[in-house]
Amino acid sequence: MSIVAGCDVGSLTSKAVILKDHRIIASCIVKSKPRPMDSAAAVMEGVLSAAGLSMNVVEHCTGTGYGREQIPFVQEIVSEISCHGKGARWMLSSARTVIDIGGQDCKTMKIDAEGNVIKFTANDKCASGTGRFLEVMARVLGVEIDELGRMTDRAKTPVTLASTCTVWAQADVIKYINSGLAVEDIGAGINTAMAQRVAILVNALTPEGDIFMTGGVAKNTGVVSTLEKLIGRKIKKTVKADPQIAGALGAALISLEKINGKGRSTI
C-alpha cells in the first residue's frame, strides 16, 4: 500500500493531502504565512499530525501552488493547473470543465477522463475574479468571508458595482455603506461582480460536459449560484472531499502516478 502526499502553497491558504493508494487519509488547510516555506512546513505538520504519521513513511510528495518553488521537502513540483485537473476528476469523475478560483488568479480548463488538462484559460493580471477580491471586500464590509457568500440569498435589492477593478469596487462598497444600504444587498453585489468576471473566462473556453468548481470560492454559494445563471449551466457538487483541497489532492495523485510508473500531464 502506497502512502503519498501533495502540498499546495497558495497566496491565501495552504493545503496538504495524504493518500493511501487512492484514499484520502488526512487533509489540512492553513492560512498562508508571509514565507511560502513556512506555510509548507505548517500545513505538512498539520496533515501528518491528523494522519498520525511521520514524514519518513511518505514515499513521494509533490508540490504545487504559487509557492511551490520554495517547498523544501517535495520530490517534484507541478503547476496548479495540472493538479486541479487531477483533483477535480477524483472528486467528480464526470467533470470535463473545471473552474478554479485561487487567491491571486482564476483558471478554467477542459480535462479528459483521466483528469489531464486539454485546454485552459487564465486571468492572473488583476485581483478581480480572484479570492483576494472577496477577501478585500469582506474586510471592507466587516464580515467573515464565509458570511459574504450567504448574503446573496438574503438580499432584497442587490447593488451594482460600477467596476470589477478591486480598487474602484472597494470605493463603491464604501460609498454604499456610507449611504446606509443593507449590508446583504452590498454583499450580493460583490458576489455578482465576482461571478461576472469569472463568467467571461468560462464562456471564452466554451465549457463541455459536467462543470466542477475547485478552490475556496467553490464554497461561496452566492458566487456559485450567480455564476450558474450567467453561464446557463449547473455547476456540479461533490460530497467526496472539500473542493478547496483539490490542488493538493491532485498533487498527491500525481505522486501516486509517479511511484506507479504512469505518465501525467505536463501543463
In the chain, the domains with their CATH numbers are: 1-92+242-267 (3.30.420.40), 94-237 (3.30.420.40)
Length of the chain: 267
Q: What residue ranges of the chain have pLDDT lower than 70?
A: 124-128, 262-267
pLDDT tens profile 101-152:
988 889 999 999 999 999 999 886 666 678 889 999 999 999 998 899 999 9
pLDDT at 104: 84
Chain-centre distance of CA 12, in angstroms?
10
Residue 221's φ and ψ, nearest 5 degrees, are -65, -30
- Those residues whose C-beta lies under 8 Å from the C-beta of residue 74, and which sit 6 or more positions away, are 7, 61, 62, 63, 68
90: Cβ contacts below 8 Å, ≥ 6 apart: 22, 115, 240, 241, 249, 250, 253
Phi, psi values for residue 103, rounded to 5°: -65, -30
Strand order in the sheet with 60-64: 23-31, 13-20, 3-9, 60-64, 76-77
The pLDDT of residue 265 is 44
The 8-class DSSP code of residue 126 comes to S
Distance CA 124, CA 184 (A): 29
Grid coordinates belonging to 129 = 475574479
Is the separation of the CB atoms in 137 and 189 below 8 Å?
no
Give the pLDDT confidence score for residue 82 in this predicted structure: 96
Distance of alpha carbon 96 from alpha carbon 113, whole angstroms: 7
Q: What would the grid cell of residue 63 be? A: 508540490
* CA–CA dist 191, 213 (Å, integer): 16
- Cα separation, 129 vs 33, in Å, equals 22
User: Residue 266: its pLDDT value, please?
Assistant: 47
What CA–CA distance (Å, rounded) separates 99 from 227?
A: 11
- Yes or no: say if 29 and 245 are a contact pair by the CB < 8 Å rule: yes
DSSP-derived pairing of the beta strands 3-9 and 60-64: parallel
**pLDDT for res 123:** 82
Residue 208: how many CB atoms within 10 A of its CB? 12
Give me the helices (H) in 52-182, please.
80-91, 131-141, 145-154, 166-178
First to last CA, the chain: 28
pTM comes to: 0.92
